[in-house]
């Protein structure tokens, strides 16, 4: 297993997904930008495969489109898929040292996304509510993380599991260097 930080997401994936989902729900660039709270020029640049969007920007767009985060960042799926440690499509937070690598998105009809997360001490990753019905599951593999809904966070160590509502404000905070965990987002 490598400790190297994975590469960023290819913008072509995000651009194609944004266009597909925006068209599917019948929104103009202006309307989607307004709903997501971002500039129309930023959205236009993203759909043209330009820019370097943060996790917060992609998440705001996903919420505005009513789709899971993974619908905007997942790669085209091959018949057999292997993601080696440290090689998954990864996004970062502008607010903390939080990195998340999408390992598996839900197939049509199922609504579950699987992430491997790297988190370092010193900052808190605050997450706004996701789409209604979201439940998050965490399994810690290394280090210690304090996670859960605001006001109800719990400290977890290696092997610990936790689930909680993801459609309310919640946070993640590493209490030890090299903290890593698997995050499953279930959309009910």
Q: What is the pLDDT of residue 106?
A: 67
Judged by DSSP in three states, 103 sits in strand
Q: 3-state class of 126 per DSSP?
A: strand
Q: Which of 11, 18, 188, 43 is nearest to 106 (CA)?
A: 188
What pLDDT sits at residue 3?
55
C-alpha 144/C-alpha 11 separation (Å) is 32
- Residue 113's pLDDT is 86
Tell me what pLDDT residue 68 has: 87
pLDDT for residue 84: 63
Mark 98-111 as b/e (b = at least 16 C-beta within 10 Å).
Answer: bbbbbbbbbeeeeb
Q: What is the pLDDT of residue 134?
A: 86
Confidence at residue 124, expressed as pLDDT on a 0 to 100 scale:
92
Question: Where would I find the H helices in 48-180?
Answer: 55-65, 70-73
Task: Write down the mean pLDDT value for the chain.
Answer: 85
Write out residues in the chain with pLDDT < 70, as ranges: 1-9, 75-86, 104-110
| Whole-number pLDDT of residue 99 | 81
pLDDT of residue 119: 94
The predicted structure's pLDDT at residue 1: 44
């Amino acid at each position: 297993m490598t400790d190297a930080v994975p590469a960023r997401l290819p913008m072509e994936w995000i651009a194609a997904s944004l266009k597909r989902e925006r068209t599917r729900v019948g929104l103009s660039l202006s309307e989607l930008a307004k709903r997501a709270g971002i500039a129309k020029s930023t959205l236009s640049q993203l759909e043209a495969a330009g820019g370097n969007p943060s996790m917060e920007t992609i998440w705001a767009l996903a919420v505005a489109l009513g789709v899971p985060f993974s619908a905007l960042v997942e790669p085209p799926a091959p018949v057999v898929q292997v993601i080696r440690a440290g090689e998954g499509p990864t996004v970062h937070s502008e607010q903390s040292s939080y990195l998340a690598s999408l390992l598996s998105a839900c197939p049509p009809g199922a609504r579950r996304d699987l992430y491997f997360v790297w988190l370092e001490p010193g900052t808190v990753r605050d997450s706004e509510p996701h789409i209604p019905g979201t439940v998050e599951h965490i399994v810690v593999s290394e280090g210690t993380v304090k996670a859960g809904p605001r006001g109800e966070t719990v400290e977890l160590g290696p092997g610990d599991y936790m689930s909680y509502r993801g459609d309310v404000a919640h946070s993640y905070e590493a209490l030890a260097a090299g903290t890593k965990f698997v995050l499953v987002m279930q959309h009910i």
